[in-house]
Chains A and B, each alone.
Chain A
Amino acid sequence: MFGKGLVKGLNVTWKEFWSKKFTVQYPDEQHTKPPRFHGKFQLNSDACIACGLCANACPNGVIKIESEKVNKKKYLTKYVMNIQYCLFCGMCVEACNKGALRFTQEHDMSQYFYKDIPLVFVDREAPKPDPETENKEKDDDKSKKAGKAPEKEGQ
């Protein structure tokens, strides 16, 4: 019959009019995120050994790491992620052996100013090396070398 489709269409919109709405009122309510959500990064700076694996793994060169040698150990002085270039691919998180770098559930990383976008996790001075321990370590080193060298030669 002519006009049947028109009535059918009206019926659809009429039903839809009374149906439940899908809109999530964003700031007030939010969708629950999956547990492995790739959100903002989190760095445990105590666990990080400044190995640079994460920076190497990143396809976009997002991660900038600076470190200094203190007492023969690498000391992390700067860890900055320029996340405006980040793909959130997760290579860096996967690369980290120490589990220092992690994703969080937070997704809101917008800023008013461009300069605020990079995530600065660590920006600190390296502590002054302790002369005593340093000397001791040097001595240890020397003795080790001295002790080991003959062995090597002997082999």
Chain B
Amino acid sequence: MLETIFIDIANWIRNLLGSAGVPALWNDTVMMLVKLTAIIVFILINALWLVYMERKVAGYMQARIGPNRVGPKGLLQTTADIGKLISKEIIIPKNVDKILFLLAPVLIFVPPLTIFSVIPFGKNMMAIDLNIGLFFVFAIASLSTLIFWIGGWSSYNKYSLLGSMRVISQMVSYELPMMLALLGVIMIVGSLNLSEIILAQESAWFIISQPIAFLIFFIAAVAECNRVPFDLMEGESEIIAGPYTEYSGMGFAMFFLAEYANIMIASAMTTVLFLGGWLAPFGLTFIPSWLWFFVKMYVVIFVFMWLRWTYPRVRIDQLLGFGWKVLVPLSLANIFVTGIGMYIYRALGW
């Protein structure tokens, strides 16, 4: 019952529309809209919660309590903050490219929303079941870099420009090891379909069979999300706030919330690719699969925050050097070892 609750709801709506005499095409369209709305609501609520959680985790790691005044236990803090940001003026500085400047914060939510439509939240729970899901996710994820670049370029500010240049150089140098690390997983599964990747982890999660790939992927994911220790794009001590420098009010808030949406994607992908997605470990199947997915995702998110409040920021040359000189060769070696291992396994007849 609990396991299939969301699927049941979806079927119920579908049947309701069917019995009301809605044509099949319209029925499918409505279903798709319902699913996407559910995803948008899911992302926004989670983004709000994550800002709160981030501040709480930061507080706890610094022997503080964190926000605890607005609402019960400070739960409404982010809501209040967003309310404040909405009511603020969006200042458009002189000489900015107005259209692009305003377009960037609007577009910034598009890649995360698009990606979430293919992520399996639970058994048979994905809005769209793409058989090149993995490829799709990373193709779209790289797009958000472009939007940072739009924001930085149109701001007509050297700090914004520097920040967005950093985003791009970071993306170029970390996308590569990330994909190469994933090749090991793809070789084992033989498919780019996210559900099949999850099902292939039935016996052992890929974090066990591909630990190096996991490490490389995770480090690259942190870098892709522009999180500490790789948050060079908004290194406050050097370039103020990077691409966000000229943004105020809701424009800034959109970037801010999108950062958390990106973290959710990175942790959801880590969960899907290495932590068995919605598969229940130790045969604890009485807990519904979507809950498992959610729990695993939040564990990964916690690790993200843990890293952020532990490490200082690296330098840009260290970042690029680490990406090209350590991660890329390591991921290539991983592919090599995985290939040999697979041959040995096949030769042994397993």
Query: Taking beta carbons and an 8 Å cutoff, which residues of A are in contact with B?
Result: 6, 9-10, 12-14, 16-23, 25
Interface residues of B in 112-157 (CB under 8 A from A): none
Could you list 5 A-B pairs, sorted by A, with CB under 8 Å?
A6-B311, A12-B310, A13-B310, A17-B60, A22-B63
For the complex formed, measure the closest distance between the CB of B346 and the CB atoms of chain A, giving whole angstroms: 34
Cα A14 to Cα B57 in complex, Å, equals 10
With the chains together, A14 CA to B60 CA distance in Å? 9
What residues on B are CB-neighbors of A6 within 8 Å?
Answer: 311
CB of B305, distance to nearest CB on chain A (Å)? 10
* A16: chain B residues within 8 A (beta carbon): 60-63
Contact of B325 with A by CB under 8 A? no
Question: Nearest Cβ in chain A — how far from B300, in angstroms?
Answer: 15
19 further A-B contacts with Cβ under 8 Å, apart from A13-B61, A16-B63, A21-B59, are A9-B310, A9-B311, A10-B306, A10-B307, A10-B310, A13-B306, A13-B309, A13-B310, A17-B57, A17-B306, A18-B60, A19-B63, A21-B60, A22-B64, A23-B63, A23-B64, A23-B65, A25-B65, A25-B68
The minimal Cβ–Cβ distance linking B283 to chain A, given in whole angstroms, is 29
Residues of B within 8 A of A12 (CB): 310
Interface residues on B, range: 10 to 19
Total A-B pairs in contact (CB under 8 Å)?
35
Per-position contact with A for B307-318: 1 when CB-CB < 8 Å, else 0? 101110000000
Main secondary structure of the interface of A (DSSP, over half): helix
Give the interface of B toward A (CB within 8 A): 57, 59-65, 68, 306-307, 309-311
Rank and list the top 7 A-B pairs by shortest CB-CB distance, nearest first. Answer: A13-B310, A13-B61, A23-B65, A22-B63, A9-B310, A17-B60, A16-B61
Please tell me which one of the listed residues B57, B63, B309, B311 contacts residue A21 in the complex, with CB atoms under 8 A apart.
B63
**Does B64 contact A21, Cβ atoms closer than 8 Å?**
yes
Contacts of A20 in B (CB 8 A): 63
Residues of B within 8 A of A22 (CB): 63-64
Q: How far is the CB of A13 from chain B (nearest CB, A)?
A: 4
Q: Are A17 and B311 in contact (CB under 8 A)?
A: no
| Shortest distance between the CB of B110 and any CB in chain A (Å) | 34
Q: How far is the CA of A10 from the CA of B57 in the complex (A)?
A: 13
Residues in B with CB closer than 8 Å to A18 are 60
The answer for the CA separation of A22 and B65 in the assembled complex, in Å, is 8
Kindly provide the distance from the CB of B144 to the nearest chain A CB, expressed in whole angstroms: 27
Measured CA separation A13–B61 after assembly (Å): 5
Report the separation of the CA atoms of residues A10 and B306 in the bound assembly, to the nearest whole angstrom.
Answer: 7
Write the chain A residue with the least CB distance to B68. Answer: A25
Contact of B61 with A21 in the complex, beta carbons under 8 Å = no
Minimum CB–CB distance for A7 against chain B, Å: 10
Closest beta carbon of chain A to B215's beta carbon, Å:
10
Bound together, the chains give a CA A19 to CA B65 distance in angstroms of 11
A19 shortest CB reach to chain B, Å? 6
Bound-complex Cα distance A21 to B65 (A): 7
A25 to B61, CA, bound (A): 18
The residues of A that contact B60 with a CB separation of less than 8 Å are 16-18, 21
Given the complex, which residues of B lie within 8 Å of A10, measured CB to CB? 306-307, 310
Contacts of B310 in A (CB 8 A): 9-10, 12-13
A16–B57 Cα distance when bound, in Å, is 10
